[in-house]
Amino acid sequence: MALIISLKVRAKLAQPDHNVTEEEIVQCFANRGPKTCTDSRPHHQSPLPTLWFVAETDYGRRLKIVYVHDTQVNNIEIKSAYIATDDVTRIYNKYST
């Protein structure tokens, strides 16, 4: 499985309001549970569903990871990642399947 992070998204992840590394994203994928949420907001729609989850890095940093999984080629394209607030974590725990 390939992890894809575009240059535009890499630049966004480097901004102070995100400040997330690719290594942290990989750690969150390794540390996550089986549940995900689907982003159903109209302005976040794409041909494939936008999925997200909350997980911790190896150092306990809790992040929200937003991605699209293309099962045809088994690629995961990162759309965003940032610190998961308590409210985001609550929503994830309530609605994830």
The range of the structural domain enclosing residue 43 comes to 2-95
Q: Please determine, for residue 2, whether its predicted confidence score (pLDDT) is greater than 70.
A: yes
We report the CATH number of the domain holding residue 29 as 3.30.2310
Q: How many domains does the chain have?
A: 1
Cα–Cα distance for residue pair 55/23, rounded to 1 Å: 13
Average pLDDT, the chain: 93
35: phi then psi, degrees, rounded to nearest 5: -90, 145
**Is residue 46's pLDDT more than 80?**
no
**What mean pLDDT is predicted for residues 79-97?**
94
User: What's the CA gap between 60 and 78, in Å, rounded?
Assistant: 20
Q: Whole-model pTM?
A: 0.92
Is pLDDT above 80 for 57? Answer: yes
pLDDT of 45: 65
3-state secondary structure of 63: strand
Which pLDDT score, from 0 to 100, does residue 14 have? Answer: 97
Residues with Cβ within 8 Å of 57's Cβ and at least 6 positions away in sequence, in order, are 24, 27, 28, 31, 63
